[in-house]
Amino acid sequence: MINPQLVEFKTKDGLELPGVLFGVKKPAAVAIFLHGNGSSSVFYHQENKKQLAEALNKKGIALLYFNNRGAHYIKKLSQERGKKVIRKKYGMAYEKIKECIFDIDGAIDFLKAQGYGKFYLIGSSTGANKICVYNYYKPQNPVSKYILLGPGDDTGFYYDLSGKEKFRKLLDKAKDAIKKRRGGEIIPELLAHDLIFSYQGFYDIANPDGDYNVFPFLEIIKNLKLSKKKIFRHFKSIKKPTFVIFGSEDEFAWGAVPKCVEIMKKYQPDLSYKIIPGANHQFGEHREELAEIITEFLS
């Protein structure tokens, strides 16, 4: 395996994003890994990443990990606007999921310049949501296959955490703050839960009719009827070969991984599905097994 290379590329809207590329001698196919939200960063726990990189490299497939604009809770990134360069706040607290299109396209353009011509997307947790959003808005994209790892229900998570009344109040407050151009302010009520969100970030992730609500598992399991728009519309738009993989002990699947898979099969019966026994949301001690499964599917 070629040693990992630190890289940086520019998105279509002028952000500079850092990453780690596990390249191959003859560039051809490459997998792009999309991490989840929170304090996520691809520059931590490199040993865990090498397992997948080594497995893919053996089959001639490169692997790019990169920090998207939602990495960490709060950070400042340089952004080009015409001839000006500004510093703007990003991170999970400010993230809007639809902007993942800029990040993914930026990664693909960078890799094309390196000589790669075949692309795969691997999305973990919220990264799986981003694949669906990307495909929904850009179905004619250059990606050949998708892998969704532990797709989660973020909207359901915050509904379950807050309760019906408080959830609705927070959504209304966030919507009002955005209208009053206070969307960048941090929500004080969520700090008690160790959650750092701006009003715009929370409204994007918690709005049942927003693009973040890709997998409304809790809504279906508990018959909550939170959404007015058609549910699973992003997921149903996928027409490319796709593999959905869960750990049986995924702590963000409401203790009902088989039920989540059953729901997904209802909307996309022809995709591939697998539950890895004993694995959690991060696949923990099962990363070597996961790497073998991913490599077999992509190669």
pLDDT of 38 > 90? The answer is no
pLDDT of 1 > 80? The answer is no
Whether residue 225 is contained in a domain is answered as no
Structure tokens at 62: 């490169």
Structure tokens at 294: 């991913």
Whose CA is closest to 296, among 260, 245, 259, 253?
A: 245
What's the length of the chain? 299
Any idea which residue has 């927070």 for tokens?
Answer: 170
Q: How many CB atoms lie within 10 A of CB 270?
A: 9
Whether residue 205 is contained in a domain is answered as no
Whether residue 217 is contained in a domain is answered as no
Q: How many CA atoms lie within 13 A of 251 on its CB side?
A: 5
Tens digit of each residue's pLDDT (9 = 90 or more) over 129-168: 999 999 999 999 999 999 999 999 999 999 998 999 999 9
pLDDT of 255 > 80? The answer is no
Whose CA is closest to 64, among 139, 9, 130, 140?
A: 9
Quick check: helix, strand or coil at residue 109? helix
Whether residue 245 is contained in a domain is answered as yes
Whether residue 29 is contained in a domain is answered as yes
**Model confidence band, residue 42 (pLDDT cutoffs 50, 70, 90):** confident
Which of 41-45, 164-168, 251-255 is least confident?
A: 41-45
Whether residue 221 is contained in a domain is answered as no
Q: How many domains does the chain have?
A: 1
83, burial (CB in 10 Å: exposed 0-12, middle 13-18, buried 19+): exposed
Count H helices, E strands: the chain?
Answer: 10, 10
Whether residue 140 is contained in a domain is answered as yes
Domain residue limits at 289: 5-89+97-153+233-298
Question: What residues contact residue 228 under an 8 Å CB cut-off, 6+ apart?
Answer: 208, 209
CATH code (residue 135) = 3.40.50.1820
Whether residue 277 is contained in a domain is answered as yes
